[in-house]
């Protein structure tokens, strides 16, 4: 049995008369005029808003391009200044760079300045105000290394308390440092507590774990 669709295919569409074609053409012309009139009214009504919106988009796009170019130029200038300061072994230039930049770049510059002139004030500034945890923790370990003899084991443990978490990249080094300080102070029980934290941690670096086992 033929389907409705198949039957419809066999039905020829009736041809339109000339009058009907003219009527269709007139309808389309009127429809286009109406749409054009609506469009013109819309444009007239919202032209100011459209111009403001277009200008805003242009300003944003231009600002973004300028900002991106300025950012790149600043990064390049910072890299060149850092390289020149290292080549010239200029700790003052590195210190100035650290104060005029941010993030790891600033911290690295300040740490390099300390390594060049041994100024503990730079190291202390990095330990307290560094932008990145890695360099803050590294600075604290260096301060303990330089001034550990003036500190008790309890003081060292307290000072390195921020490093007592696996979130710190120097966690295991800090544990070993505290343990060694307690051993130096003759407090083996306290030292063993820190040594055991390393020994019982399967993620501890092999060299630090071996040292801890030797001290235990």
- Does position 77 have pLDDT exceeding 80, yes or no? no
Same domain flag for 156 and 183: yes
Is 34 inside a domain boundary?
no
Question: What is the number of helices (H) and of strands (E) in the chain?
Answer: 10, 0
Neighbouring CB atoms inside 10 A of 181's CB total: 24
Counted domains in the chain: 2
Mean of pLDDT values over 134-163: 92
Average pLDDT score, the chain: 78
Mean of pLDDT values over 59-64: 60
Is 191 inside a domain boundary?
yes
Is 205 inside a domain boundary?
yes
Same domain flag for 156 and 208: yes
Domain termination site, one of 98, 132, 166:
132
- Does position 205 have pLDDT exceeding 80, yes or no? yes
User: Tokens 């290292």, residue?
Assistant: 86
Same domain flag for 175 and 209: yes
Contact 123, 94 (CB under 8 A): no
Contact 140, 160 (CB under 8 A): yes
Same domain flag for 119 and 171: no
Is 26 inside a domain boundary?
no
Residue 71 token pair: 């950012």
Same domain flag for 117 and 160: no
Same domain flag for 161 and 125: no
Is 14 inside a domain boundary?
no
Is 58 inside a domain boundary?
no
Is 128 inside a domain boundary?
yes
The pLDDT-based confidence of 66 (bands split at 50, 70, 90) is low
pLDDT value of residue 1? 47
d(CA 82, CA 97): 7
Structural domain of 173: 151-216
Is 113 inside a domain boundary?
yes
d(CA 89, CA 196): 42
Same domain flag for 157 and 207: yes
pLDDT value of residue 172? 94
pLDDT value of residue 122? 93
Which DSSP letter does residue 90 get? -
Which DSSP letter does residue 164 get? -
Torsion sign (Cα): 36, 41, 47, 50: negative
Q: Higher-confidence residue: 207 or 25?
A: 207
In 3-state terms, what secondary structure has residue 108?
Answer: helix
- Does position 2 have pLDDT exceeding 80, yes or no? no
Same domain flag for 118 and 170: no
E strand intervals along the chain: none
d(CA 84, CA 114): 17
Same domain flag for 105 and 155: no
């Amino acid at each position: 049995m033929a389907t409705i669709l198949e039957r419809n295919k066999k039905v020829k569409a009736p041809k339109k008369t000339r009058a009907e074609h003219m009527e269709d053409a007139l309808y389309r012309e009127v429809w286009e005029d109406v749409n054009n009139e609506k469009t013109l009214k819309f444009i007239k009504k919202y032209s100011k808003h459209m111009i403001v919106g277009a200008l805003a988009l242009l300003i944003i796009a231009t600002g973004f391009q300028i900002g991106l170019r300025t950012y790149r130029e600043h990064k390049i200038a910072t890299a060149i200044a850092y390289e020149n300061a290292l080549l010239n072994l200029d700790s003052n230039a590195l210190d100035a760079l650290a104060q005029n930049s941010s993030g790891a770049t600033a911290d690295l510059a300040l740490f390099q300045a300390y390594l060049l002139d041994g100024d503990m004030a730079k190291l202390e500034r990095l330990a307290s105000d560094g932008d990145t945890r890695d360099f803050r923790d590294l600075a604290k370990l260096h301060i303990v290394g330089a001034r550990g003899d003036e500190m008790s084991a309890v003081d060292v443990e307290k000072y390195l308390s921020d490093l007592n978490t696996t979130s710190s990249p120097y966690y295991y080094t800090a544990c070993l440092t505290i343990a060694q300080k307690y051993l130096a102070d003759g407090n083996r029980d306290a030292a063993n507590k820190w040594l055991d934290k390393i020994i019982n941690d399967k993620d501890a670096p092999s060299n630090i774990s071996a040292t801890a086992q030797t001290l235990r």
